[in-house]
Amino acid sequence: MRGWSTPEPFAVEERHRVFACDRKALARGVRAGMAVSAALALAPRLRVVPRDPAAETEALLGVSGWAAQFSPGVALEFPDGVLLEVSGSLKLFGGLEPLLERLHRGLAEMGWSATLAGAPTPRAAFWLALAGKREFIDSVAELEAALAALPVGVLRCGDGTLEAIGVRTLGELRALPREGVARRLGQELLDKIDRALGLLSDPRNFFIPPARFRAAIELPAEVTQAEALLFAARRLIVQLCGFLAARSGGVQRFVLGLRHRDRAATEVAIGLVAPSRDIEHFTLLARERLFSLALAEPVREITLQADDVVPLAGRNLGLLLEEGKAAGDWEHLVERLRARLGTDAVCGLVLRAEHRPEHVVCVGEPDSKQLHLDFGERPFWLLARPKRIAEIGAVPHHEGPLELLAGPERIESGWWDGDDVARDYFVARMQNEALVWIYRERRGEGGWYLHGVFA
């Protein structure tokens, strides 16, 4: 139901009637409440899907989890409303206007369209939004007039009795004698209005965000292009980052799942060097991964899952501008490079207490703790594997005869792991003045090998 960038108009039906439709359908004359057959006559290419209450609840929970970043007081108004207690948050977000701007932008980025309204009581705010009025009322005095103008449809009592007796607005309903209304229509109706006006208390259960994040978007058509997948993934990422902001947390790993029709889902795990909740950075990493992905089958649904939410410590900014950018940039760089080149392509070096030259260094994570060891004369470049070089007249040759400058340094070690070596190392000078590190094998058939270059 999220506003998809599909060319066709789109509608949701319930019991053969149009329940809701998008702007493209509205432009062709489709209206809520219309029979599906009539809607199809107006817009032959209309895509009609049955209403899915489970998906609606899922969506409402998703929006609530995202909205919890703006206020701890989030309540659900089933099936289509989310209430936020914002009076305590206004100062933090710099007033109502900036807060609304952020709400609007975030909802649009997640692909939702919403009507925002505000009032001193939660029910009044919800009714204003239901009636499509983008109004923000901050005094009880104005509330009564604003509510009086609302249509009775916002009460959702559903059977049309009020309209049948000629009552169209809440103001007209309140003008009727209370006893009569209570007897004919039930006390509950009057209580609802009293709660909206703040005459009765209206306690709410606040929404508690779940410990893990899980969200899904069903794609309107089967998708193979990475661009379209990224479009959907970004909506989920915005939702994830709002969820994380609400918990003052970050994630170090999240998994994008691409569901296919027949095959098992393709999982794209995105790992980070340090926890983060940066929308743009997450999108960038997802882009690199999705664009390098070879899909076996089109994708029907995209899911985003993040299990371990870790607290994300805020960073204090210095009073003066500090030299150099923040270390966070470094982590972003490593993640970006890894997203495109692969995790193994970006590595640090770790020194080990070893005698065998090829075992001294192992490839590790960048930033690994280092031993402080003292070796003899060692070259800057080490060949991936020693290269056999010729021996002519007892002199080793590599592009001409080599002149031995230093050595031998005997290295004999490693009998315990089956990879033992016995070598005499020399520093040698080539004809072109380059210095190389060579050794003479002391076992088997012997011979000379080139192992490093002093650069």
Partner 1 sequence: MAGTPFPFAALLERPDIWRGDSLSRTGTPAVPSGFPELDAELPGGGWPAGALTEVLPAHEGIGELRLLGPALAALSNRGLRLAWISPPHLPYAPALAAAGIDIAMLVVVRTTSPIETLWAAEQALVSNACGAVLAWPQGAKYAELRRLQIAAEGGRAPAFLFRSPQIAGEPSPAALRIALGTAAAGGLAVHVLKRRGAPLARSLLLPAIPPAVRGKNHHVDRHPAAPAAARDFLAWLVHA
Which region, judged by CB under 8 A, interacts with partner 1, from 118-126, 139-147, 191-199, 432-440?
Answer: 432-440
CB of 33 to partner 1, least distance (A): 54
Which structure tokens are listed for 86?
């914002």
HSE (side-chain half, CA atoms, 13 Å) at 410: 4
Which region, judged by CB under 8 A, interacts with partner 1, from 147-155, 208-216, 253-261, 320-328?
Answer: 320-328
| Pair 426, 439: CB distance under 8 Å | yes
CB of 332 to partner 1, least distance (A): 6
Could you give the string, one character per residue 330-369, with x where binding to partner 1 holds by CB under 8 A and - elsewhere?
A: x-xxx-xx--xx--xxxxxxxx-----x--xx-x--xxxx
Please report, as residue ranges, which positions from 92 to 111 form the binding site for partner 1 (by CB under 8 A): none
Which region, judged by CB under 8 A, interacts with partner 1, from 40-48, 163-171, 246-254, 425-433?
Answer: 425-433
Closest by CA position to 223, among listed 122, 301, 115 = 301
Nearer to partner 1, 179 or 344 (CB): 344
Residue 378 touching partner 1 (CB under 8 A): yes
Closest by CA position to 268, among listed 288, 249, 297, 250 = 288
The rounded distance, in Å, linking the Cα atoms of 182 and 184 is: 6
Q: Which of 27, 149, 373, 390 binds partner 1 (CB under 8 A)?
A: 373
| Pair 423, 439: CB distance under 8 Å | yes
Residue 415 touching partner 1 (CB under 8 A): no
Give buried/exposed letters for 101-131 (b at 16+ CB in 10 A, else e).
eebeebbebbbbebebbbbbbbbbbbbbbbb
In this structure, the number of other CB atoms found within 10 A of the CB of residue 150 comes to: 21
Residue 380 touching partner 1 (CB under 8 A): yes
CB of 414 to partner 1, least distance (A): 17
Please measure the distance between the N-terminal and C-terminal CA atoms of the chain and give it in whole angstroms: 62
For partner 1 (CB under 8 A), the number of binding residues is 58
Q: Which of 15, 164, 372, 446 binds partner 1 (CB under 8 A)?
A: 372
Nearer to partner 1, 28 or 336 (CB): 336
Phi-psi category of residue 182: left, alpha or beta, with phi > 0 → left and psi -120 to 50 → alpha: alpha
Residue 430 touching partner 1 (CB under 8 A): yes
Nearer to partner 1, 208 or 363 (CB): 363
CA 50 and chain centroid, separation: 29
Residue 427 touching partner 1 (CB under 8 A): yes
CB of 383 to partner 1, least distance (A): 6
Element (H, E) at 162: helix 161-164
The rounded distance, in Å, linking the Cα atoms of 201 and 363 is: 65
Q: Which residues pair with 410 in a beta bridge?
A: 424
Closest by CA position to 168, among listed 153, 186, 183, 146 = 153
Q: Which of 224, 248, 292, 431 binds partner 1 (CB under 8 A)?
A: 431
Could you give the string, one character per residue 153-182, with x where binding to partner 1 holds by CB under 8 A and - elsewhere?
A: ------------------------------
CB of 313 to partner 1, least distance (A): 20
CB of 433 to partner 1, least distance (A): 4
Peptide bond into 408 cis (omega under 30): yes
Residue 453 touching partner 1 (CB under 8 A): yes
CB of 407 to partner 1, least distance (A): 9
Residue 452 touching partner 1 (CB under 8 A): yes
Nearer to partner 1, 310 or 341 (CB): 341
The rounded distance, in Å, linking the Cα atoms of 340 and 342 is: 6
CB of 388 to partner 1, least distance (A): 17
In this structure, the number of other CB atoms found within 10 A of the CB of residue 211 comes to: 9
The rounded distance, in Å, linking the Cα atoms of 23 and 407 is: 82
Nearer to partner 1, 323 or 445 (CB): 323
- Show contacts of 363-367: CB within 8 Å, 24+ apart: 366/334
Residue 434 touching partner 1 (CB under 8 A): yes
Residue 435 touching partner 1 (CB under 8 A): yes
CB of 347 to partner 1, least distance (A): 6
Q: Which of 377, 388, 415, 447 binds partner 1 (CB under 8 A)?
A: 377
Residue 401 touching partner 1 (CB under 8 A): yes
Q: Is 251 exposed, middle or buried (0-12, 13-18, 19+ CB in 10 A)?
A: buried
| Pair 99, 90: CB distance under 8 Å | yes
Which region, judged by CB under 8 A, interacts with partner 1, from 22-30, 79-87, 190-198, 434-442?
Answer: 434-442
The binding site for partner 1 (CB under 8 A) comprises 324-325, 327, 329-330, 332-334, 336-337, 340-341, 344-351, 357, 360-361, 363, 366-370, 372-375, 377-384, 401, 403, 405-406, 427, 429-436, 452-455
